[in-house]
């Protein structure tokens, strides 16, 4: 049986309407799902952004904290280094002072005109031998070294050095003195110095222009040898032989001529001696 046309048209419209509704419903679902997805994506994006921002803030905080820690560490390091440096400086200074003071505690040494002994005390009223100068020095009661002056039988030169094996002329005594190898002055004795003989009287004065026993010391203090001497004190000539003693009661040939010397060394002149006549000059 055929369905009338208008009924088929209504049915078709009804189907189309149902399809439209279904499509619309489906479209709505799709739209809603898309919107939901977008919202979720947006939320996720915002959450990610917030997390990223939070992470950045945390990183910034971390950096700030790290920076602060590093600064604190620097400050701590700087603070810890400074006292150590001061201690090092103190230690260096102390070490330097030890080095400077070392001679005071370990060896004797000079401090200006004063002499400090190994025990740190200053020498007074005593002799000291300084190996650095290879010389003896005399330290007076005030602690200063003696110089240009006598101390007992010894003479201290400029600078305090003890004179030895050398001549010293003392203006105060207007005389020459000779200091022997031990530093004491020659006294009441003969000394051969540079091949010449000298005699030193009591207190060390050098004999000159005078007799010393059978010997005569000239104006320079040298013992005369192989030479004539006229002594106005005795108004006579004398002859000093090679050993320095005067010719006595004997003949002497001097410069090719013979002379006779009587007792005490006086030269015979203008007189007979045995079978020989001595002229005014004393020559035979």
Tell me which residue of 173, 141, 115 sits closest to 185, measured CA to CA. 173
Please state, in angstroms and as integers, the Cα–Cα distance from residue 249 to each residue in 40, 67, 77, 116, 242, following that order.
160, 122, 109, 65, 16
| N- to C-terminal Cα separation, the chain | 218
Domain assignment present for 251: yes
Q: DSSP for 4-30?
A: PHHHHHHHHHHHHHHHHHHHHHHHHHH
Q: What is the dihedral of CA 253, 259, 260, 265, to 10 degrees?
A: -90
pLDDT tens, position by position, 62-81: 444 444 444 444 334 333 33
Same domain, 210 and 263: yes
d(CA 165, CA 230): 33
Tell me which residue of 137, 208, 224 sits closest to 176, measured CA to CA. 208
Same domain, 205 and 246: yes
The answer to whether 185 and 200 are in contact (CB under 8 A) is yes
Structure tokens at 72: 């604190």
CATH of the domain at 120: 2.10.270.10
pLDDT band at residue 52 using 50, 70 and 90 as cut-offs: very low
Structural domain boundaries, residue 55 = 1-76
Residue 277 has pLDDT above 80, yes or no: yes
130: left (phi over 0), alpha (psi -120 to 50) or beta: beta
Domain assignment present for 140: yes
When comparing pLDDT for 85 and 249, which is higher? 249
Domain assignment present for 43: yes
pLDDT of residue 99: 35
When comparing pLDDT for 196 and 13, which is higher? 196
Residue 24 has pLDDT above 60, yes or no: no
Question: Across residues 145-173, what is the average pLDDT?
Answer: 98
pLDDT tens, position by position, 202-229: 999 999 999 999 999 999 999 999 999 9
Same domain, 40 and 116: no
The answer to whether 208 and 217 are in contact (CB under 8 A) is yes
pLDDT band at residue 102 using 50, 70 and 90 as cut-offs: very low
Question: Across residues 167-172, what is the average pLDDT?
Answer: 98
Q: How many domains does the chain have?
A: 3
Phi, psi of 198 (to 5 degrees): -135, 155
pLDDT of residue 17: 53
């Amino acid at each position: 049986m055929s369905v009338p046309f208008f009924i088929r048209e209504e049915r078709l419209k009804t189907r189309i309407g149902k399809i439209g509704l279904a499509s619309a419903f489906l479209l709505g679902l799709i739209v809603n799902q898309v919107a939901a997805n977008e919202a979720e994506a947006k939320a996720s994006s915002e959450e990610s952004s917030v997390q990223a921002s939070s992470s950045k803030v945390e990183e910034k905080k971390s950096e700030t904290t790290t920076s602060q820690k590093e600064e604190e560490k620097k400050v701590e390091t700087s603070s810890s280094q400074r006292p150590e440096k001061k201690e090092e400086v103190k230690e260096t200074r102390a070490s330097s002072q030890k080095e400077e003071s070392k001679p005071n505690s370990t060896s004797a040494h000079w401090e200006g005109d004063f002499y400090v002994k190994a025990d740190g005390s200053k020498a007074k009223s005593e002799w000291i031998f300084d190996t650095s100068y290879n010389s003896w020095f005399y330290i007076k009661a005030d602690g200063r070294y003696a110089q240009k002056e006598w101390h007992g039988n010894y003479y201290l030169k400029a600078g305090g050095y003890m004179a030895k094996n050398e001549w010293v002329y003392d203006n105060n005594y207007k005389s020459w003195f000779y200091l022997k190898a031990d530093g004491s002055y020659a006294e009441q004795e003969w000394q051969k110095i540079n091949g010449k003989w000298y005699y030193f009287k009591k207190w060390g004065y050098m004999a000159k222009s005078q007799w010393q026993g059978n010997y005569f010391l000239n104006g320079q203090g040298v013992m005369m040898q192989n030479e004539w001497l006229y002594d106005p004190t005795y108004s006579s000539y004398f002859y000093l032989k090679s050993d320095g003693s005067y010719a006595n009661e004997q003949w002497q040939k001097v410069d090719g001529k013979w002379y006779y010397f009587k007792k005490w060394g006086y030269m015979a002149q203008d007189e007979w001696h045995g079978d020989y006549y001595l002229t005014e000059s004393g020559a035979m």
